[in-house]
């Protein structure tokens, strides 16, 4: 069976190419037998949804974006990641939520604060991709960075992070556990 990284390359997602997140995800997300529900915010052309769909063949894969993208076998929703009313009314509960949306710090924080508390199941995982934008002024449009926000809310027991470069200036991702990581259950 191909690894998550190999599937990412197959479908051309930047999770495997530019950012190289896949090996970290494979170690920290549930195994291939995962039968839960996964949401990805920011689906662009659907490449990563296809990757997740093949990696988790028994899961219910969802995606949201401002622009409609159809991916066979996945449920896609056209909505803004900051539209709490739409998310509340139209999204079910999830076991894994991946934010690969706008990367603007205010958007990340609005989505996270609502979804983590209201749409993420107990022992679910929330993945904040491209967190390195917290260190780029052009993405910081909030009182504090998303990196600071998450580190204030969660101690190291509840978060795991990985960065491709030592100074956190590129390809930085964090997984936050709502109680426990899969290897702790």
With bands split at pLDDT 50, 70 and 90, how would you rate the model's confidence at 85? very high
**CATH class of domain segment(s) 4-184:** alpha beta
What count of residues does the chain have? 185
Active site residue 88: no
Task: Tell me the domain boundaries of the chain.
Answer: 4-184
Instruction: Choose, from 5, 103, 107, 149, the residue flagged as catalytic.
Output: 103
Q: Name the pLDDT band for 37 (thresholds 50, 70, 90).
A: very high
pTM of the model: 0.97
| pLDDT tens-digit series, residues 93-120 | 999 999 999 999 999 999 999 999 999 9
């Amino acid at each position: 069976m191909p690894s998550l990284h190999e599937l990412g390359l197959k479908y051309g997602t930047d999770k495997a190419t530019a950012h190289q997140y896949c090996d970290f995800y494979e170690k920290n997300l549930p195994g291939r037998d995962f039968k839960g529900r996964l949401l990805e915010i920011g689906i662009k052309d659907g490449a990563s949804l296809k990757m997740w769909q093949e990696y988790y063949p028994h899961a219910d894969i969802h995606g949201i974006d401002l622009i409609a993208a159809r991916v066979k076998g996945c449920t896609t929703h056209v909505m803004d990641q900051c539209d709490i009313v739409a998310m509340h009314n139209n999204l079910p509960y999830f076991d894994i939520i991946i934010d690969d949306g706008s990367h603007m710090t205010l958007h990340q924080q609005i989505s996270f604060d609502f979804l983590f508390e209201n749409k993420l199941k107990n022992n679910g995982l929330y993945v904040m991709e491209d967190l390195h934008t917290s260190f780029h002024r052009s993405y910081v449009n909030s009182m504090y960075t998303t990196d600071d926000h998450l580190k204030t809310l969660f101690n190291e027991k509840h978060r795991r992070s990985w960065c491709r470069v030592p100074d956190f200036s590129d390809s930085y991702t964090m997984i936050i556990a709502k109680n426990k990581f899969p290897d702790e259950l």
